[in-house]
Structure 1
Amino acid sequence: MPNHHELDEVYGAQTRAFRIWMKQAGYTDTTQKEYMREVYAYLHSLDELAVEQAGKMHVISFLVSKQQATGDRTRNRTLSAIRSFYAALIDFEMTARNPAMEVKKSKTEKNKKPVYLEEEELALSLAFIDGRYRNRNLAIFLLMSYCGLRVGEVHRLNRSDYKKAKGTIEVFGKGRKWNEIPVPEALAAMLTEVERERIEPYREKEDAFFVSQKGKRLSIRQIQKIAGQTFEAFKRQYPKLADMKLSCHKLRHTFATMLLRNGVDIRVVKELMGHASIETTMIYTHVNDQQKKQAMSTINIPLHAIG
């Protein structure tokens, strides 16, 4: 694929407009980078065809070419990037239509069973959070598993987002929406301790809640590494979980599953998870093997009637 400079010779006005639009709309730095990468790949596929002349078939052809090497989840993220790109161009009156909106998202991923830890397994995993910054790392882990925060939301969390008097945190989440989440008392006490131990940031005005040993906002990759090391140690101790693909997002799955298992109204779970649609929350209403066995144990086959 040509480098970005070569593509900008043809589509420079459009890519500059998209960058400005995403920044103004409040997209995270990570999303901006991912979306720009997807859009540059899409523009390369147009082979210098004017963006406003591209149609539904061009978008589908590009998605099909990518889907051969990736799954439905990646395909949908790519489609979202292209949709946003055209939305930006329409906003700046650089095109009149969004052909990507005519392409349906894949539904396959909605049928995929979420991976999650049982509540007892989650409790056991906490013992494997260790190291010099144990309290900080434990607070991060708990925010994802007992408050349902996404890794990006933990990364963006500022001290000013933690409202001690109210016992809540304000989370800037997906869809560029703010969500206020009550903090369990045990976690609130830990957040206060982490704030007390917090390393003085390198930048004077840095408000990041979680800071690295170098005094910078803890990156998404660093947070993922903290969780990854915990999971590795946990799985070594409990080999039966060795094949389970655990990650930061799986902690979020665990949080939603726990709430629903404990009888929390799905509408409340939707709000706590920051979902735009209750259909997204519905994927967490899965049942486990033990629940199936318990259900089947209520069935009485009248053997005496069979003869």
Structure 2
Amino acid sequence: MPSQHELEEWYGEQTHAFRIWMKQAGYTETTQKEYMREVYAYLHSLDELAVEKAGKMQVIAFLVSKQQSTGDRTRNRTLSAIRTFYASLIDFEMASRNPALEVKKSKTEKNKKPVYLEEEELADSLAYIEGRYRNRNIAIFLLMSYCGLRVGEVHRLNRSDFKKAKGTIEVFGKGRKWNEIPVPETLSAMLSEVEQERIEPYREKEDAFFVSQKGKRLSIRQIQKIAGQTFMAFKQQNPSLADMKLSCHKLRHTFATMLLKNGVDIRVVKELMGHASIETTMIYTHVNDQQKKQAMSTINIPMHAIG
């Protein structure tokens, strides 16, 4: 089995290009590490075959080799990594086609209903946000749950992205796209307060909106920890939710679900979520058990006609 050093000898130019491309595209450090790990495993499977000569068969063979030990979600993530790898090479004119696009994703992941909190549950969870910098933590939580920001987008948010006069924030999201999102007045007021309380960063030119107690841009891991501690305390007082897997991304699910349940046009939800395709937004058009019961309660069976 070749070492990473040997793989770099064979495919170093391509892996170097991929790293540069992901950084420039704004991928989080966690995603970069995961994608590089998947791509190294894929390159190992090519057995020195030139990347540009690999085709659909090589991609499928690699996915099949992992299939016994991984589920559909992992398979889809692996495929996404390989697709992104080839996209970067095409962008740098180091490849002419993306064979991974010819391989279909598993449908299981698409059919899975997103985990989300009901609007009342979300409101109750806010009381459990604690910490020395409580206002900052609340603002972070609200941006994810009432504006739909990804954790990486909260991490990258700068003071200059908050347009106080317009009442909007400019978000640098997936696909290297900027998205302007209107901010509710209450959240805008809180962001203004947090900005005033903000610790002066050690780096003079640091423009990060959310800063740690050490004067550095708040990391993704720190943001996840804030949310994790909140969910832990919330679930301890709400045993019925103990088995629900809550995370920063589940707040984003909650935001999209809340909008659609409130009758917001799905095309508007797509834009607010920063989705490239409306098909992605469609996964939030699920219905819950209570909605099913309400629908069935409108039906009247004519028992008098039967008797």
TM-score where L is the length of structure 1:
0.95
Residues 55 and 286 (structure 1), Cα distance of their counterparts in 2 relative to 1, 3 Å cut = same
Distance 2:137 2:68 in 1: 38
CA distance in 2, matches of 1:68, 1:155: 36
Residue 3 of structure 1: how far off its partner (Å)? 3.9
Q: How many matched pairs?
A: 307
Q: 1:92 to 1:190 in 2, by over 3 A?
A: closer
Provide Cα deviations, 1:239-275, integer angstroms capped at 9, x if missing partner: 0110111111111111111111111111111111111
Distance apart, 1:305 and its partner CA: 1.9
Per-residue deviation, residues 205-238 of structure 1 (Å, max 9, x unmatched): 1111111111111111111111011001000001
The alignment partner of 1:179 has SS state of: strand
List aligned pairs for 1:152-301, cutoff 5 A. Answer: 152-301=152-301
Cα distance between partner residues in 1 of 2:210 and 2:198 = 7
Q: Distance in 2 between matches of 1:95 and 1:173?
A: 26
Give the structure 1 partner of residue 64 of structure 2.
64
Provide the alpha-carbon RMSD of the alignment: 1.6
CA distance, structure 1, for counterparts of residue 289 and residue 52 of structure 2: 52
Mapped pair 1:102 → 2:102: yes
When structure 1 is superposed on structure 2, of 229-238 and 198-207 the one drifting more is: 198-207
Give how far 1:2 is off. 4.4
Identity %: 90
Report the CA distance between 1:110 and its aligned residue: 1.2
Counterparts of 2:38 and 2:290, CA distance in 1: 43
**Aligned partners of 1:245, 1:26: CA distance in 2, in Å?**
27
> What amino acid is the match of 1:230?
T
One-letter code aligned to 2:137:
N
- C-alpha distance in 1 between matches for 2:164 and 2:2: 51
**In 2, Cα distance between equivalents of 1:251 and 1:36:** 27
Change (3 A) 1:92 1:276: closer
| Aligned-partner Cα distance in 2 for 1:24–1:119 | 37
- Given residue 70 of structure 1, which amino acid in structure 2 is its aligned partner? T
Gaps of 5+ in 2: none
Q: Which runs of 4+ in 1 moved over 6 A?
A: none
Deviation digits for residues 169-218 of structure 1, max 9, x if unmatched? 00011111110000001111111111111111122111111111111111
Paired residues of 2:25 and 2:175 also in contact (CA < 8 A): no
Distance 1:91 1:301 in 2: 62
Q: Do structure 1's residue 44 and structure 2's residue 44 form an aligned pair?
A: yes
State the one-letter code of the partner of 1:111. Answer: N
* Alignment deviations for residues 12-47 of structure 1 (CA, whole Å, 9 cap, x no partner): 122122223334444444433332222111111112
Aligned equivalent of 2:77 = 77
Q: CA–CA distance in 2 between the matches of 1:163 and 1:302?
A: 59
Structure 1 distance, partners of 2:241, 2:26, is 38
